[in-house]
């Protein structure tokens, strides 16, 4: 074309990018090999990330104008490797034990490429075909893992057009939101002249049923996505009622029951009770059976947020920890957490396959009534075929393989807790129920002093220890040898004083005992150099009269 | 281990899947090569899909029990190739012109593998590092494409912690929902004793501001995700007001203005006005400038759903079609539609970088106040690094490359419309404004008769033609040579009678004029064999006295 606006764009070259390349000695074949080697190199290095301040990285990513001219794939990949990959976080590193994003089995990489290349869209059979039954199969198997219904049940419902055993989601947040959306719509359903909340809206629903407010009950350790859900669904964050926890970060059923009764008495309605199966901060599991009883008593939807801990059901040795989950109306499980699948694989399961009717929707050009298009039953619209990666991981690892991985993670967490306890200058703050625990560094003298400190003394010492913990965590992250995260808890042993702690998630099968010892050694070393923080701590200790050993 | 529950699981083999394979002659290297070849083979075949009834496919995916034992990767991939890939939809085929899911440039496949392998989580800097500035950069460039603010604007806001120029989402549905969530929360913001809807809920907000109801205004051609959003946000589907369209499927501003006034007069409040830039069914664009005026007059949030059509802004020759989009408060664009990026790349852009405050949220262990963690500003939580694929496509194709692709798609649509018009037995139902058009098969005699049929005659003929269109579309899909979709419209030229039409989206650069001719030829051939449907049509024609040529 002569048009100057196309100058320097070669149409033939442009169309070639959509044409199948002749593998593997084509340019693209070579680039692919180069990228793969580089990725393996990155994943093979035992450092968490090459440190560069975020502000400096931002300088590489601040052009506001779109690039005008095409760039060679090879040039662009060099840029990516240099400016992006090199400054990514090595989430697969066995020394990256700070978050729930962990190792990936390598067989998932070629499968992910296949999945992306097929570019199916699960919204509709016409753009997904076999991926739709596959996704329903994955949801069905997870449903069986949680609810264990009989074979006839799955034969009947797994592929039924107007039913769903669950929904595949981009992540746990959308999964939790979907569960609460269903709970809300079922509660304020059509009734007489009232055509239902989906049609008339929340205010009309509250008015029709005469409820002053709806509430969602959750322990104070509940995930922040639930606050978001309460906001999005129009319920309001203040109606997400946080119930205090016991000494093991589990919801107090007695206090929950009182709160439910009070809400009822005041003309409100408990819409949902949420049990947490693996809190994000401490990994503890709420007493699900007791929550189910309370949900029954108050006719509330019972949801279990097992986004992280749900995979424990794959271990016959530990699934009893989630006893009662089978009584939940809905359950969230993220395959991209303890099921070792890449980011983007959330799921919500529904005990009753007809529950999804509360949010069903149709359109003429897509997801027509009576079709098996999944788009009519999910919060999201167009969605990729991520379910394939869950399906493959389940088959290639097998339930017994998962059991071994999960059991080993739990053992490792208990081992690490023991190791921490053996040190003079570290202490466990929350014990591992699953493979998550919290701890902190406390100079030996302070640790000893704390054993006999009163509430006021603890209150005065804690800010200094918090500053030290923060300092160590940041410095260790910057060193790039290993990574633990941090959070703030209110430990009962320290009079519920807000306490900053290190948080570790031990789900990477390649993390060794030696690496765990290294983590502590490095933290100790960093701490010993924090002279001004240690000085302030010593001064405080002296002022409190706690300096001399007793 | 001796434990029988681990029987037949070899720990060493299990751990090996997390260990870097020795490429490329390792087993996994071979499997990867095999998969790549197979994928290229699949994508190379010029058929849409190997036909097998859905019920038969479901039989391969109905196990409810999780697989107990591990399976070899090689065995599993054979299963996938045979049972899944072979029965997937060939969305990249140049003859698959029925949906907005289209071709992918091949360079995205190795990049997707890299992205999955890095497994970054955008919720938090600690799990994403350089991916966070990269994603903000992508959002910034798209913001510039829409709003064209000056350099200083982007310098100031692109990487600002408590601001956002937009949000990356799993798709257009979440993007639209996010925009309306923000609109709702800004409207019912904190005021005096009222602490805001996010905290107190929708009913309290309506009461505080004295609104009887909130409404969302949209043309009758609006996307079904907006009904979902109205439901989720508690506004109610009946408060999503569908405004009639003109003869070109564009919202009628006069009727919109009347409806807004009526809602105001009745004590309601217009929360948002949505303009569609590329309707899903016909590809038409609402008069955005006029909508902006009306939104201003009624102080409503102005959102533009440009999920599909937004990419047109990349063409300097056609961006004027979206004139007025720069006045929108928020805009949805899906990169996985006309930007040729794989499924899962939705975006919503915000004119005002502070707008996101209305939905900001924090948590102690993650997305802490003051951090640059994106998790505090999005509806979703954990999210993959999909933005990288958008970034790469923008750089490798370049704006001029996109312009060429988009201009060629539009030309092709106009060419196809002309081709259809030339036929005795086909007719265009809606003209292409972008690269989307609708048409149908009408036997020559009927086509001629329709030119002089009155409303009643049209009404009696249409069901027969609808049945024929449905029959052809299904049969063509089953034949697997090519694929067009279908929908139901109410064309003005046929007295708004509900009319089933073929719908084509011509975004695949490899679709040729010959292929388009083949599509028509095949449809004609299928139609000619539909003897009973044609017979019924002839009978109807005779009864209407329209059989004889005039």
- Chain B residues inside the 8 Å CB shell of A238: 195, 199-201
Q: What is the pLDDT of residue A550?
A: 46
Residue B219's DSSP bridge partners are: B243
Question: Which whole number is the average pLDDT over A309-315?
Answer: 98
For residue B259, the distance in angstroms to the closest alpha carbon of chain A comes to 18
Q: What is the pLDDT of residue A484?
A: 96
pTM for this one?
A: 0.96
Contact at 8 Å (CB) between B248 and B279? no
Ordered alpha helix ranges (H), B305-443: 387-422
Q: Which residue has the higher pLDDT, B26 or A143?
A: A143
Residue A419: pLDDT over 60: yes
Q: How many residue pairs from chains A and B have C-beta atoms closer than 8 A?
A: 587
How is residue B518 written in tokens? 């083949």
- Chain B residues inside the 8 Å CB shell of A406: none
Q: What is the pLDDT of residue B50?
A: 58
Query: What's the rounded Cα separation, in Å, for the pair A396 and B17?
Result: 10
For residue A512, the distance in angstroms to the closest alpha carbon of chain B comes to 12
- Chain A residues inside the 8 Å CB shell of B86: 130
Residue A400: pLDDT over 50: yes
Q: What is the pLDDT of residue B550?
A: 46
Whether B343 sits inside 8 A of A385 (CB atoms) is yes
- Which of A250, A315, A496 has its CA nearest to residue B68? A315
Question: Which whole number is the average pLDDT over B248-260?
Answer: 97
Q: For the segment A528-548, what is each residue's pLDDT rounded down to a tens digit? A: 999 999 999 999 999 999 876
Question: Which whole number is the average pLDDT over A89-116?
Answer: 92
Residue B366: pLDDT over 70: no
Contact at 8 Å (CB) between A214 and B200? no
Task: Collect all residues with Cβ–Cβ distance below 8 Å to B504 and sequence separation of at least 6.
Answer: B97, B98, B413, B416, B436, B437, B438, B439, B484, B485, B519
Query: What's the rounded Cα separation, in Å, for the pair B94 and B529?
Result: 26
| Mean pLDDT of all residues belonging to chain A | 93
Q: What is the pLDDT of residue A6?
A: 67
Q: For the segment B100-143, what is each residue's pLDDT rounded down to a tens digit? A: 988 899 999 999 999 999 999 999 988 999 999 999 999 999 99
Closest by Cβ to B89, choosing from A5, A120, A281: A120
Q: What is the pLDDT of residue B505?
A: 97
Provide the percentage of residues in chain B whose pLDDT is more than 70: 95
* Cβ burial, residue A447 (10 Å; 0-12/13-18/19+): middle
Closest by Cβ to B85, choosing from A118, A132, A508: A118
Q: For the segment A4-50, what is each residue's pLDDT rounded down to a tens digit? A: 566 678 888 888 888 877 666 788 888 888 888 888 888 876 555 55
Query: What's the rounded Cα separation, in Å, for the pair B384 and A101?
Result: 11
- Chain A residues inside the 8 Å CB shell of B106: 17-21, 28
Q: What is the pLDDT of residue B46?
A: 52
Q: Tell me if residue B265 falls in helix, strand or coil.
A: helix
Q: Which residue has the higher pLDDT, B102 or B489?
A: B489
Residue B2: pLDDT over 60: no
Q: For an interface test with B, which of A4, A84, A509 has the most B Cβ atoms less than 10 Å from its Cβ?
A: A84
User: What ipTM was reported for this prediction?
Assistant: 0.95
Ordered alpha helix ranges (H), B234-386: 253-265, 288-297
How is residue B15 written in tokens? 């751990």
Confidence class for position A1, pLDDT limits 50, 70, 90: very low
Q: What is the pLDDT of residue B24?
A: 61
Residue A292: pLDDT over 90: yes
For residue B197, the distance in angstroms to the closest alpha carbon of chain A comes to 6
C-beta atoms surrounding B303 within 10 Å = 28
Q: What is the pLDDT of residue B1?
A: 42
Q: What is the pLDDT of residue B43?
A: 82
Q: What is the pLDDT of residue B180?
A: 98
Q: What is the pLDDT of residue A548?
A: 64
Confidence class for position B4, pLDDT limits 50, 70, 90: low
Q: What is the pLDDT of residue A144?
A: 98
Confidence class for position B42, pLDDT limits 50, 70, 90: confident
Backbone angles phi, psi at B73, to 5 degrees: -55, -40
Q: For the segment A72-102, what is each residue's pLDDT rounded down to a tens digit? A: 999 999 999 999 998 998 899 999 999 998 8
- Which of A42, A47, A45 has its CA nearest to residue A479? A47
N-term to C-term CA, chain B? 90
Whether B365 sits inside 8 A of A400 (CB atoms) is no
Q: What is the pLDDT of residue B30?
A: 87
Residue B309's DSSP bridge partners are: none
Q: For the segment B206-221, what is each residue's pLDDT rounded down to a tens digit? A: 999 999 999 999 999 9
Question: Which whole number is the average pLDDT over B418-444?
Answer: 98
Question: Which whole number is the average pLDDT over A390-399?
Answer: 97
Q: For an interface test with B, which of A4, A90, A112, A118 has the most B Cβ atoms less than 10 Å from its Cβ?
A: A118
Query: What's the rounded Cα separation, in Å, for the pair A51 and A475?
Result: 11
Q: What is the pLDDT of residue A3?
A: 57
Question: Which whole number is the average pLDDT over A457-481?
Answer: 95
Q: What is the pLDDT of residue B12?
A: 87
Query: What's the rounded Cα separation, in Å, for the pair B459 and B490?
Result: 12
Question: Which whole number is the average pLDDT over B434-451?
Answer: 96
* Cβ burial, residue B225 (10 Å; 0-12/13-18/19+): buried
Q: What is the pLDDT of residue A256?
A: 98
Question: Which whole number is the average pLDDT over B57-74?
Answer: 95
């Amino acid at each position: 074309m002569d048009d100057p606006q196309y100058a320097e764009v070669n149409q033939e070259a442009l169309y070639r990018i959509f044409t199948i390349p002749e593998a593997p000695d084509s340019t693209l074949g070579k680039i692919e090999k180069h990228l793969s080697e580089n990725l393996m190199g990155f994943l093979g290095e035992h450092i968490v990330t090459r440190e560069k301040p975020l502000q400096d990285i931002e300088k590489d990513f601040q052009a506001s104008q779109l690039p005008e001219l095409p760039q060679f794939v090879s040039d662009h990949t060099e840029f990516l490797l240099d400016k992006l990959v090199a400054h990514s976080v090595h989430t697969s590193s066995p020394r990256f034990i700070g978050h729930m994003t962990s190792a990936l089995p390598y067989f998932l990489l070629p499968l992910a490429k296949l999945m992306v290349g097929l570019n199916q869209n699960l919204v509709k059979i016409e753009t997904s075909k076999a991926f739709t039954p596959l996704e329903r199969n994955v949801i069905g198997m997870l449903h069986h893992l949680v609810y264990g219904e009989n074979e006839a049940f799955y034969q009947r419902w797994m592929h039924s057009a107007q039913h769903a055993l669950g929904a595949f989601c981009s992540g746990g947040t959308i999964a939790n939101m979907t569960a609460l959306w269903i709970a809300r719509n079922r509660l304020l359903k059509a009734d007489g002249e009232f055509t239902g909340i989906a049609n008339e809206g929340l205010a009309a629903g509250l008015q029709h049923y005469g409820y002053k407010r709806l509430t969602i009950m959750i322990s104070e350790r509940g995930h922040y996505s639930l606050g978001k859900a309460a906001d999005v669904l129009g319920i309001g964050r203040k109606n997400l009622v946080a119930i205090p926890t016991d000494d093991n970060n589990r919801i107090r059923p007695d206090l929950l029951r009182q709160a439910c009764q009070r809400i009822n008495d005041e003309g409100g309605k408990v819409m949902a009770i949420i049990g947490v199966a693996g809190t994000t901060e401490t990994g503890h599991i709420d007493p699900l059976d007791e929550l189910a009883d309370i949900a029954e008593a108050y006719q509330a939807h019972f949801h279990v947020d097992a986004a992280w801990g749900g995979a424990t059901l794959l271990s016959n040795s530990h699934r009893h920890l989630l006893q009662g989950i089978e009584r939940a109306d809905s359950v969230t499980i993220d395959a991209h957490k303890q099921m070792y699948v890449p980011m983007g694989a959330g799921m919500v399961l529904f005990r009753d396959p007809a529950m999804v009717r509360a949010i069903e929707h149709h359109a003429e050009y897509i997801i027509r009534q009576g079709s098996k298009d999944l788009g009519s039953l999910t919060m999201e619209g167009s969605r990729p075929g991520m379910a394939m990666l869950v399906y493959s991981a389940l088959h290639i690892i097998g339930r017994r393989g998962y059991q071994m991985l999960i059991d080993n993670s739990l053992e490792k967490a208990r081992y690490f807790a023991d190791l921490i306890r053996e040190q003079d200058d570290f202490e466990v703050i929350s014990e591992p129920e699953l493979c998550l625990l919290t701890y902190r560094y406390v100079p030996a003298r302070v640790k000893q002093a704390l054993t006999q400190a009163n509430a006021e003394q603890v209150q005065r010492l804690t800010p200094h220890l918090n500053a030290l913990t923060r300092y160590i965590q940041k410095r260790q992250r910057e060193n790039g040898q290993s990574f633990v995260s941090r959070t703030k808890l209110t430990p009962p042993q320290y009079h519920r004083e807000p306490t900053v702690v290190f948080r570790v998630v031990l789900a990477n099968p390649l993390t060794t005992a030696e690496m765990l010892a290294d983590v502590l050694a490095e933290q100790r070393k960093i701490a010993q150099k924090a002279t001004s923080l240690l000085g302030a701590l010593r001064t405080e200790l002296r002022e409190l009269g706690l300096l001399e050993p007793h």
